[in-house]
Amino acid sequence: EVQLLESGGGLVQPGGSLRLSCAASGFTFSSYAMSWVRQAPGKGLEWVSAIVGSGGNTYYADSVKGRFTVSRDNSKNTLYLQMNSLRAEDTAIYYCAKESGDYGPNHFDYWGQGTLVTVSS
């Protein structure tokens, strides 16, 4: 059974940093691209970042480029999102999602329950 469990969310001041983690199990982690997707209060889903199975290629939405860094540790079956220079508009539930393949275009066949990030003073 595929399981994705996010952690690391919380309250942070504007300009601060936070590191999210996503522990994966139930599939060959290194064989699949992974993504982070967020949902701000009252808004739709927004794709944030993706990383291929080897970790060799990463992709970002324009809204987070230069501030967020996605990485993965295939030996620990864990996906990360380092978020720096956080802004109020980054407030959202952050989901990690398994992609249906390695290089895209893919769909997201499994999602985690999400972790809440609140950016506020």
Partner 1 sequence: QSVLTQPPSVSGAPGQRVTISCTGSSSNIVARYGVHWYQHLPGTAPKLLIYGNTNRPSGVPDRFSGSKSGTSASLAITGLQAEDEADYHCQSYDSSLSVVFGGGTKLTVL
Binding-site ranges for partner 1 (CB under 8 A):
4, 35, 37, 43-47, 50, 59, 61, 95, 97, 100, 104-105, 107-114
Rounded to the nearest whole angstrom, what is the least distance from the CB of residue 16 to partner 1 in the complex?
A: 25
Contacts of 60 (CB under 8 A, 6+ apart): 48, 49, 68, 70
Beta bridge partners of 46: 38
How near is the Cβ of 35 to partner 1 at its closest, in Å?
7
Q: How far apart are CA 12 and CA 57, in angstroms?
A: 29
Nearer to partner 1, 44 or 75 (CB): 44
| Nearer CB in complex with partner 1: 46/102 | 46
Token pair listed for 120: 């506020």
CB of 72 to partner 1, least distance (A): 17
* Residue number, 27 or 110, with CB nearest to partner 1: 110
Q: Count the neighbouring beta carbons within 10 Å of the beta carbon of residue 98.
A: 22
Q: What is the DSSP letter of 1?
A: -
Least distance in angstroms from the C-beta of 79 to partner 1? 15
